[in-house]
Structure 1
Amino acid sequence: MSAADSSHPDRGSFRARFRRAAGPTLVINVAALLAAVTAAVAGPSAPGTTAAVVAIAVLAWVEARRGGKLARLLASHVLARALLITSAVALAAVGGSSLLVPAVMLGISTLLEPVLKRILAGAVPYAAQLPGIRTRNHELASPAGVAVGNMGGLAVLFVTDLLAIRSDAVSWSVAILAVASMLFAVVLAVDGVQRIRARRVADRTVNDAMRAYAPAFAVHWDAGPGTGYQLAMWLPYLERIGEPFVIILRNQATFDETVGLTDRPVLLRKTHADLDDMIVPTLRAAFYVNNAVRNAQFVRFAELWHVQLNHGESDKAPSYNPVLRAYDRNFVAGQAAVDRFAAHGLATAPEYFEIIGRPQLEHVRQADGPLPAVPTVLYAPTWAGFNADSAYSSLGVGPELVTQLVERGCRVLFRPHPYTDRSPELAAAADTVRALLEADEAKTGIGHEFGERVASELTIAECFNLADALVSDVSSVVPDFLFSGKPFAISTMLAPAEEFIDGYAIAAAGYVFEPTPESIRAALDDMLGVDTKQAARAVAKEYYLGGESPESVSARFIEAAREVIAMPKPPAIEAAREADHASARGEGR
């Protein structure tokens, strides 16, 4: 696919566009409204029943598509559910049914859901593992139970109306579900209010707790669910610095994941103002593992040294984003990162770059001979990217590529990027690859791996150690694989091979393929045949990864990090820092 093609992405089928435009919700609301109006005006009728059936059916379909994510049920489709209950109330009133009071109770319980959701939205986690701060970070129980009870009551109402069942047992069932849901909602709401109050109390003492803990540096991290690998790859080496530190988290959705990665203090600071209390006299530096937009809210503290670590070395466009110059230091793996900035006209201060290698590769085993008779090939495609200029993924031709590997008798390890499912097209291609490998595994028993173990449980370094060769894209995977000295093939998705080789230094060390069967075949022939790129890989390894040995690569990072933490800021900034902290102490901050 060319760059021009990628700038006009396929918007998908009409059904996909209809879902994205909230079409199902519109159908549910209109059908529920028709059911309520018909019941109020005409009483029991075929049109009213049909409208209610449509609303219930589409609502059930939408909820089923959530894939069992019950937490999202709370306050979902409240308008439609209230209208359907109104329909039941109208029918019960007309017929003198004993369902009238239970239906009204169910309606009240349903309307309480948005109130509960609003309260719980404010009762977010606060901090974990920081001495002096004790808050409960989670609700007593999942609030989904409230919605499940209310939806269960609605289902009973719907079935009884549809089948014209009238009995005290049905009325009691609806009443019990409504009362149980209301009581549960009240308990959770009270608990939520208490947790909000506890957060406010903690806010008054968190700066004191930070001063007592005396962190030397902070890790500022803002990323969504499923991105824990960005932080996890650096934590072991940050620990080896030997100084106390805290993790300042900006995204509530990654709180539990982060707490599970470390025993260091983790503080959720969602707003710009929340960050002020994180600044204490002992704090000298902040490290960042991505280039999230909200990093700028912490970079504003000039009294700290701000160090960008990134989460991989690659030739992708984000690796030379001009915004990276906002940081005081950019710790990079090798000279390639420095030259990449210069090649794109980005001037930096002489001390801006620090070449530290890639400490995460210290346990990667080196190539120890020619490929075996049955080579193991790691296929690790990248994701679709945010923009057209970073649409590097080869996964669209992944089925063709994997088919060719299987036909050659290779054992395949499939490790798609964690963000693969953000693109429906690439997610479908990944499913096809898994199906191909599953079918071949059933036939040959060769040992293909395409499940969670390779995709997420093993580190990328562990996957490198299992593989004899790699097929990947423009990403951090390929430069990291250079450390092993093993052969690799790399895709060019946005330009012809000749142009790609001219523009990317790493291409000289690999076997380049375009997204065509013929080009894939030629690259695999070369990679799995007579290896002519061994010397080129050695040169590229030093250029991209700094040439550190496995024994010294982590030590270089630790030394550089300690140097930054120990460095004083310019005198004017240091003086302002001392004045600020003296003022804060005087005010009883």
Structure 2
Amino acid sequence: MPSAGSVSRRAVQLTSLLVMTVAYAAQLLGALVPHVPLFVAGSAVGLALDLLLQHRQPGLLSLLAKVRFDVTVRQLLRDMLVLVGLLRIDGIDPLSGHAPLLVGLCALYALHFVCQAVAVLVRRTRTLPIVTRNIDASALRLSTAPPRLLARRQGHRLLTFSLPATAGLLVTAVTDDVLWGALGIGAALVPALGGTAYLATWLLPRKRAVGERQVIEWFDRWLADYRPTVAMYFSGGTTSAYQANMWLSTLSQLDGRPLIVLRERFMMQKIDATDVPIVCFPKVTTMFSLENSTLRTMLHPANAAKTSQVLRIPTIKHAFINHGESDKLSSCNPYAKAYDEVWVAGPAARERYALADVGVEDKDVVEVGRPQLAPIRPYSGAPTGPYTTVLYAPTWEGWDGNPGNTSVVLAGENVVRGLLADERVRLLYKPHPLTGSVDPRAGAANERIKAMIREANARRSGGRPGPEAAAELARRTAELDELTSASFRPGADEMERMLLQGAPRGDREAAIAEATAAWDKAYWASFPEWEHQIITDARPAIFACFNQADLLISDVSSVVSDWLSSEKPYAVANTSGLSEEEFRAGFPTVSAGVILSPSAEEVPALLDSVRHVERDRLAAARAELKKHLLGPSDPPSLVRFDRAVAALGAKAEERRVRMNARLLPEMPAQREGTAQARARDAAEEAGQEPGEDQEPSDPVQAPDGPDPVVNA
């Protein structure tokens, strides 16, 4: 079942198409009859609707463009019908009146196409082969972007410049005076010509960045100066950036000089605020600048199609760190054997790879814990307030159609219904962002769950925080946004953002951590403690929800593994069709939790065990499972992770030394020829003839200096 939002959007789109069709029909009929009021009304409504759609319905315009009925065709059709109408309206001389208007319109369209050609050239000159963030790129002569109307929004530009022309022509149709049409076209030609000329100034040397070769040479120099030691490599779609963002704090705390390597240009603005230098290599050829750098270790939080390209760099050792661990088969992907090492949280993942038998050898598995779990607060006993806070955080449906992936479809409504039936429960519902993206049933169930929660809130009543709480949240939100959100003007392009996101401030991450903690406190204080919450935005983060909740209900996912770091009670919904015994045996992460059937009839007993510690029989099992999943707490996970980075980097360096020793020695004939050449050069410098006073057996020493690096 489609959501209410999608139904409303489709209704608006269909209505817009209907109005557009009626406008064209009215314009055509008014031109042929001719009927001036109908003709003018159809022309004006059509143009006004198109202008409105440019701002309100870009999705509809994209669909029209796919069937080749784009903005240029639509405006050409309108102008053609306007000219037909003027020809058929009495009182306008076709030769002395209509011909100049036709010539003027043709000139306007010619300018539009010229402006578009200049815009394409400008965009090409402003597309750099390497894009950076948190790196001072002032040496590249970066400049601000031209106005968006001229450079990137051809539909808006055409309609904006056509507006005075169309208005003048319609006034001519009403008054039979050609002068109005000429004035309107003239008023359109002047800004079109001026805008094109102004846009062309971005092709002049003072506004152009350096060439591609100079950009690559500049980046090579930066690499030599910065001397990176460890990098995180990430490639993915628009919704996958969270997989990299969860590792930013860990990366920034490592010893050495970290770097973030991306492959998609759009991903530059998807990565959260950080002080770590970021570089994007859209083309694989530019990425091989890393081969001759000091970079020795590369971390991979996700598998991607472009990962194989960076694995070809032999001077770097690669570790797969994943973006979460669970008992799902996706956590033991056979692709993992392509990496030099696979880093996991604890013994459970090591066993998982051994059982999966996907080609990952045990010697290549390294246990490093989960450093980013540090903000999660430990279990402090049964809830003490009037409400038991329950976090229901189901995962999404996945790609394989397995009904056990998500509980939303088969059990979600029953789980929520059981929780809402208890008056002492406050529910936090945080579905996975991709819920419903594959299976429409999951999306429909998600919407029904939200409706149930809103209805339950409507039945509750009680005191609410005063207006000062909302004001405090607004203030904290503004502070956090200022730190985390890059503020760009609407027309800023890639080069301008690169200019503005130059050298980092150096204290941003500490300030963000402090501001985030203050925001979390203000957020929870802005709601009454009895009110259920539907959390679908990036804030509050899942760990902040962990710290608020007394109980987690989830599916087989990495959320459960992360939650176990707190040792709080949890439950997992079993919608796989397996018996409880088979489910526990097949998914070790659920072994210390309560198993919920699709009917969720176990919810009352589950809540009772949370409120009465003496009835919680799984506390010891949770502590043991935590150690099994996440490894020991001493030394801390960050220390183990840092040691693993250093150890893998040492392996890369050892390999480099071996390759140098294997490839650098010259053949005997080459050594002899080189010695003779050096002896001859030395003799010439001393003013001697070649061979004079030279013993053939005297060794010739090579000049001191570092050995060159030869890549295998």
Q: Smaller-chain TM-score range?
A: 0.7 to 0.9
User: Aligned in 2, Cα 1:137/1:124: closer, same or farther, shift over 3 Å?
Assistant: farther
Query: Contact between 2:162 and 2:188, CA under 8 Å: does it hold in 1?
Result: no
Q: C-alpha distance in 1, partners of 2:431/2:377? A: 22
Q: C-alpha distance in 2, partners of 1:363/1:69? A: 45
For 2:336, the aligned partner's letter is L
Query: Contact between 1:302 and 1:573, CA under 8 Å: does it hold in 2?
Result: no
Q: Percent identity?
A: 26
Deviation at 1:101, TM superposition (A): 5.6
Which of these residues, 61, 77, 80, is aligned with residue 84 of structure 1? 77
Deviation at 1:127, TM superposition (A): 1.8
The answer for the alignment partner of 1:406 in structure 2 is: 420
Query: Contact between 1:36 and 1:83, CA under 8 Å: does it hold in 2?
Result: no
Higher RCO, 1 vs 2 (CA within 8 Å, ≥6 residues apart): 2
Which of these residues, 236, 256, 267, is aligned with residue 254 of structure 1? 267
Deviation at 1:307, TM superposition (A): 1.2
Query: Contact between 2:415 and 2:603, CA under 8 Å: does it hold in 1?
Result: yes
- Residue 465 of structure 1 aligns to a residue whose secondary structure is helix
Q: Does 1:501 align with 2:506?
A: no
The answer for the alignment partner of 2:336 in structure 1 is: 324
Q: C-alpha distance in 1, partners of 2:76/2:26? A: 6
Deviation at 1:406, TM superposition (A): 2.4
Q: Does 1:510 align with 2:621?
A: no
The answer for the alignment partner of 2:617 in structure 1 is: 532
After superposition, residues 91-102 of structure 1 pair within 5 angstroms as 91=84, 94=87, 96=97, 100=102
Deviation at 1:437, TM superposition (A): 3.5
User: Aligned in 2, Cα 1:428/1:517: closer, same or farther, shift over 3 Å?
Assistant: same
Deviation at 1:187, TM superposition (A): 4.4
Please say which structure displays the higher CA radius of gyration.
2
The answer for the alignment partner of 2:345 in structure 1 is: 333
The answer for the alignment partner of 1:473 in structure 2 is: 555
Query: Contact between 2:3 and 2:444, CA under 8 Å: does it hold in 1?
Result: no
Query: Contact between 1:149 and 1:180, CA under 8 Å: does it hold in 2?
Result: no
Q: C-alpha distance in 2, partners of 1:151/1:583? A: 64
User: Aligned in 2, Cα 1:441/1:389: closer, same or farther, shift over 3 Å?
Assistant: closer
Query: Contact between 1:146 and 1:184, CA under 8 Å: does it hold in 2?
Result: no
Q: What's the C-alpha RMSD, in Å, of the aligned pairs? A: 4.7
The answer for the alignment partner of 1:151 in structure 2 is: 159
Which of these residues, 245, 248, 264, is aligned with residue 235 of structure 1? 248
Q: C-alpha distance in 2, partners of 1:429/1:200? A: 54
Deviation at 1:276, TM superposition (A): 1.2
The answer for the alignment partner of 1:546 in structure 2 is: 631
The answer for the alignment partner of 2:202 in structure 1 is: 191
Q: C-alpha distance in 2, partners of 1:576/1:191? A: 52
Deviation at 1:309, TM superposition (A): 1.4
1:382-406: CA deviation from partner (whole Å, max 9, x where unpaired): 2333443597233345454334322
Deviation at 1:50, TM superposition (A): 7.6
> Which stretch shifts more, 117-126 or 273-282?
117-126
What TM-score comes out, normalization by structure 2 length?
0.66
Deviation at 1:265, TM superposition (A): 2.2
Structure 2: runs of 5+ lacking an equivalent? 90-96, 462-527, 666-705
After superposition, residues 49-448 of structure 1 pair within 5 angstroms as 64-66=56-58, 77-88=70-81, 90-91=83-84, 94=87, 96=97, 100=102, 103-104=105-106, 107-108=109-110, 111=113, 115=117, 116=119, 120=123, 123-124=126-127, 126-131=131-136, 134-135=139-140, 136=142, 139-143=145-149, 146-152=154-160, 165=174, 172=183, 176=187, 179-180=190-191, 183-184=194-195, 187-188=198-199, 191=202, 197-258=210-271, 261-372=273-384, 373-389=386-402, 392-396=405-409, 398-409=412-423, 410-420=425-435, 422=437, 426-427=442-443, 429-442=445-458, 443-444=460-461, 445=528, 446-448=530-532
1:280-327: CA deviation from partner (whole Å, max 9, x where unpaired): 341111111211221111111122110111111222332111011111
The answer for the alignment partner of 1:5 in structure 2 is: none
Q: C-alpha distance in 2, partners of 1:297/1:231? A: 18
For 1:402, the aligned partner's letter is V
> Which stretch shifts more, 321-330 or 42-51?
42-51
User: Aligned in 2, Cα 1:185/1:514: closer, same or farther, shift over 3 Å?
Assistant: farther
> Which stretch shifts more, 287-296 or 39-48?
39-48
For 2:267, the aligned partner's letter is T
- Residue 224 of structure 1 aligns to a residue whose secondary structure is coil
Deviation at 1:171, TM superposition (A): 6.4
Q: C-alpha distance in 2, partners of 1:422/1:558? A: 37
- Residue 291 of structure 1 aligns to a residue whose secondary structure is coil
For 1:413, the aligned partner's letter is L
1:312-365: CA deviation from partner (whole Å, max 9, x where unpaired): 122233211101111111111112212222222223234311101111112211
- Residue 405 of structure 1 aligns to a residue whose secondary structure is helix
Q: C-alpha distance in 1, partners of 2:645/2:374? A: 17
> Which stretch shifts more, 47-56 or 313-322?
47-56
1:496-544: CA deviation from partner (whole Å, max 9, x where unpaired): 3534333111122222234445476776676667433222222221121
Q: C-alpha distance in 2, partners of 1:314/1:226? A: 20
1:85-142: CA deviation from partner (whole Å, max 9, x where unpaired): 4424533662556864664455345546764368536734622333566443863443
Q: C-alpha distance in 1, partners of 2:595/2:157? A: 57
After superposition, residues 36-47 of structure 1 pair within 5 angstroms as none
